[in-house]
Structure 1
Amino acid sequence: MTTSVSEKVYRRGPFPVKFRCLEVLRVTPITPHVVRITLGGEDIQGFHSEGADDHVKVLFPEAGKQRPVIPTMGPTGPVLQPGEKKPDSRDYTPRRFDPVAGELDLDFVLHGSGPASSWAAQAKPGDMLGVGGPRGSLFVSNDFDWYLLAGDETAIPAIARRLEELPEGARAIVFIEVADASEEQKFSTRANMTLKWLHRDGAEAGSTDLLNQSIRTLDFPPGDYFAWVSGESLAMRPIRDYLLNERGTNKSWVRVTGYWKRGHADHVHDSKN
């Protein structure tokens, strides 16, 4: 099923969801607090991720166990077998999917003792992880006059994928908030990219106004633009309000999403546009 939002931006889905049990192939440190886990194995057959900001449901094993509980999909959602405990889960954006090699990359921010961070900090080849989805994909035309991409560490996989897919001659203005200079990453793109890193320098993640102020003080170039911003849920509200209500940006060309929420362990992605 395809639901059109506009000629330039539209969503495809929902797709049938299958939960897969995938094997850790490689563990690659990206920054002091970001690690890339490369997954594969026979169960990856049939997986697909076509949109830059796709997200999958990741299922973690119980402490001391190698394999997670993998539910099946019933008519009303995931189904567990009698005696099985619902696994801890989080939403993640696939950083890279290579269908030829059968490899899926997920980037984990190491930020404490939660199930995702704790698992990723100790992951090694041969460990197993559950992955379900994506349920749908957002497709964005490559012929906008320019693109505004912004977010914190959790948004980097989606921003990096968007930058990689933009054609030569496209223009992208990018703001990314991270803890400090050691957390900056390098991106590959053919686009004409203007990138500004915003450093919290000791402030707690999700507590700053850095993204909002950067977007508000931006001298918006002329022409049609697509704006994609993601990060802490409450921090996204003034940005969404500014783009839609103050700037009057075409609602179909704005996607502002709360990827996580301070004080909430398993926040579900929210987007009101």
Structure 2
Amino acid sequence: MAFTIRQGHPFPRDVVPGGTASFTIDVDSDVPISGQQEWIAVRFPEGTTFPDPDGEVRYIANNETINEALSSRWDPVNRLLRFRSTLHLNDGSPRQNGFYSINIQALVDAEPGIHRENDAMEIGGVKAALSIDIVDPNQGPNSAVVRRPADRTYWAWGAARWEAAGAGAWSLPGAVIPLTIGGASANGAIFAATFSAEALSTAPDNNSVMWLDVLFGGLAPQPVGGNQRFTSAAKDREWSSHTVQRVIKFLPQSNLQDVTAKVHVSHGGIDGSKCGLQNWVLKIERYNL
């Protein structure tokens, strides 16, 4: 018998400093379980607490027709919550395959950003991470705060000159970084991409444009506008250095998804125009959710 435990949606759970919210936990097993009791432990991320004595742990199942409070024990020194649950997993009963809803409070002085606690949730020796997004109420919707270094940083680079003639779209050879999300870890991620290169765009009438983006599994990151120029034609036709930055967020999921990063280039211009890149660097920073 093997358990799995993971944070449910919404993910990460957002809460303002001093505010309260509820996050959810999903538990599963590779075999049916009917009536077995297990302890579940949750270590709250730094900057958060269980709103004791009024906080609740609830088990919800069968389209919320089952919604009951569970007794819990809170250790404020170690930010550790423990509760015991009678499991019904894939056993065909009305109580099967529910989820746990747990209250959480952000401290008044907590720093905004994603607060992640690795190995925070545990059942039967199986552990998983817990992420809480403490949101500055003055922070705009198109923004994010990450309070820790990247979980992993990837690099790719090339010095060779690449050129293409006329109008069209291409992938820059070698500017590829294999990435995945989901699968056994059921994780998501925020990816921050930085691409720098010496670029050239020319045309007989000095009227051509090179567009460039870093796609993740074919998906466009942010910001996305209608005129994402990397460089434009100029009469002196000299190579010049340019940089673009993009961000994309993938929510946690159980399905394995290929989100390989590729540099995509397109060029518009009349016959005789061309574009090129050389001495390029692609950097991807990964922040797991």
| Shorter-chain TM-score above 0.5 | no
Q: What's the TM-score, normalizing by structure 1?
A: 0.25
Considering only CA atoms, is the larger Rg found in Structure 1 or Structure 2? Answer: 2
Q: What's the TM-score, normalizing by structure 2?
A: 0.24
Higher RCO (CA 8 Å, separation ≥ 6 residues): 2
Higher helix share: 1
Higher strand share: 2
